Chains A and B, each alone.
Chain A
Amino acid sequence: MIKFNQVYKRYPGGHEALKNLSFDVAEGEMVYLTGHSGAGKSTLLKLIAAIERPSSGGVLVKGQNIRSIKPAAIPHLRRNIGLIFQDHKLLFDRNAFDNVMLPLQICGFDHRESAKRVRAALDKVGLLDREKANPVALSGGEQQRLCIARAIVNRPTILLADEPTGNLDTEYSNEIMNIFKSFHQVGVTLLISTHDESILRQFPARALHLKKGELQT
């Protein structure tokens, strides 16, 4: 599903964020990405979503090479990838329902069909009763769950989560990890970056450990 082959990422100025990365993530697999902040976790996720391109090496996502992907093909790639951001990236000019509606509008879904899907996604993350609320009025954990609802509403095959439990206490973290676990059970490929060791113990899965841009084995 995801294949990295000797990937390097250098930023202008010479900073080398990723060095010689090679790994595979199989379809339906759940994989953790661990390491300190600055180890290159976010950069790695950005490469998969074609937000950044590798400086050298091959990144294959669902058979598409990110290094040579045409700009016009990027939107269609991203529709298959649910992105969950640490800073949520919610839009505060609309309510929770409309935030989750956005990916379906982008894909051009029929309004009634999308309304059903939006409610299903909100139900999944336990926010069905908050659909009219503005994201500003939601707590940190609720905002994170809303972000998850938006990422899954058009049923992507890959979910990328960047520090989804970053600022949350244990109770909220577990809630969110349980949601991820349920996606894993229905066959979604998951890549979750975290620096929270307790999560790894409680929800064990393969972990890729990054240190200064290099994969530790």
Chain B
Amino acid sequence: MRTLNEHLRVLRFTLRHMLLTPNASLLNILIIGIALSLPVGGYVLLKSAQTLGSQIAGTPQVSVFLASGTSASEIDHIGEKLRQHAGIKRIEFVSRDAALKKLQQSTGLADVVAGLAQNPLPDAFVIYPKGGDAAALETLRDELRTWQHFEHVQLDSAWVHKLEALLDFGRMAVAILAALLSFALIAITFNTIRLQILTRREEIEVAKLIGATDSFIRRPFLYFGLTQGLLGGIAAWLLVAASLQLLNHQIGALTQLYASDFSLQHLSPVDSITLLGFSAYLGWLGAWFSVSQHLWQIEPR
């Protein structure tokens, strides 16, 4: 109870201290907020891109296009062979006529298709492999390429891998940005606390003279760092939320044209709490470094 009261007292003291210099406090919080909002914004965009990718990709599949002039019996034979293949779960035969019909229906190219003198499409198999990993798929593709009558074997998930690689690149970029800006946050807090220690030198000296422990002297500074970090985190959250609101407004107009309901997702509650916790922790850490660096220099003489 006694310690709780003490902590509440220090917290009140800290907030009062911040309100004493509202402009400086606000500026610091804003700088921290902007610094944090950059990696957080990047993270949000990546997450949305990832969702979009997985929505479109579905399960990986291999398309096999047969050489024109392959007879029906040969097609049956190939179908049987594919069904017995150990790496294949399921196959689907798409005849050239069916493919043409599908093309007519789905893409609004009916006029063009109707104008064709003959069906340019080949017969095809869509193969659903058993395993999902990229290496197995590639092995399967390479094996199928050696089969007779197969004119073209295409791994439909290839672009998903490309997207995945691109997203990995993005994630790494965001991680580097986050690391750098975390250092910036620690540095900002370090400096703020350093100035505070200098201006409150006399108070620290007197407190030491009348029996204050180091932790008693350290506490208000650590609280200040923690609170400033937390408020900076809240500022970052608000900045990201406002930006997403604006972007989604623009995207709404764009996706309508493509008849999609895609929109950028906001930070989940877990992500939000992680952001606030992390920023508060970094603030605390910056203050801790500063205090351990500067406090021992102040000894009463």
Contacts and interface: CB of A to CB of B under 8 A. Distances in A.
Partners in one complex: yes
Interface string B207-232: 11111111010000000000000000
A111 B211 contact: no
Nearest to B200: A93
Contacts, number: 53
Given A91-B203, A91-B206, A93-B203, A106 B5 contact: no
A102 B301 contact: no
B211 A91 contact: no
B202 to A, nearest CB: 7
Contacts of B206: 89-91, 102
A105 B7 CA distance: 11
Interface stretch (A29-37, A76-84, A197-205): A76-84
Contacts of A75: 208, 211-214, 216
Interface in B2-26: 2-3, 5-6, 9
Interface in A9-61: 49, 51
Interface in A76-111: 76-79, 83, 89-91, 93, 102-103, 105-108, 110-111
Contacts of B131: none
B300 interface: yes
A106 B300 contact: no
Contacts of B203: 91, 93
A3 interface: no
Contacts of A145: none
What is the interface residue range for chain B against chain A? 20 to 34
Contacts of B212: 75, 106
A108 B213 CA distance: 11
A126 B202 CA distance: 26
B202 A106 contact: no
Interface string B52-69: 000000000000000000
A76 B6 contact: no
Contacts of B202: 89, 91
Given A51-B301, A110-B2, A83 B9 contact: no
B207 A106 contact: yes
Nearest to B206: A89
A89 B5 contact: no
B209 A102 contact: no
A83 B210 contact: yes
Nearest to B205: A89
Contact of B211 (A72, A93, A106, A110): A106
A164 to B, nearest CB: 16
Given A91-B203, A91-B206, A102-B206, A107 B9 contact: no
A106 B301 contact: no
Contacts of A93: 203
B216 A106 contact: yes
Interface string B109-143: 00000000000000000000000000000000000
> Most B CB atoms within 10 A — which of A79, A91, A105, A110?
A105
B3 A78 contact: no
Interface string A137-152: 0000000000000110
A49 B300 CA distance: 11
B6 A107 contact: no
Contacts of A102: 206-207, 210
Contacts of B5: 110-111
Interface of B: 2-3, 5-6, 9, 202-203, 205-214, 216, 300-301
Interface of A: 49, 51, 72, 75-79, 83, 89-91, 93, 102-103, 105-108, 110-111, 150-151
21 contacts: A49-B209, A51-B209, A51-B300, A72-B214, A75-B211, A75-B212, A76-B211, A77-B211, A78-B209, A78-B211, A89-B202, A91-B203, A91-B206, A93-B203, A103-B211, A106-B211, A108-B2, A108-B3, A110-B5, A111-B5, A111-B9
Given A75-B211, A83-B210, 20 more contacts: A51-B300, A72-B214, A75-B213, A75-B216, A78-B210, A78-B211, A79-B210, A89-B202, A89-B206, A90-B206, A91-B206, A105-B9, A106-B211, A106-B212, A106-B216, A108-B2, A108-B3, A110-B2, A110-B5, A150-B210
Which are the 3 A-B pairs with shortest beta-carbon distances? A79-B211, A78-B211, A75-B213
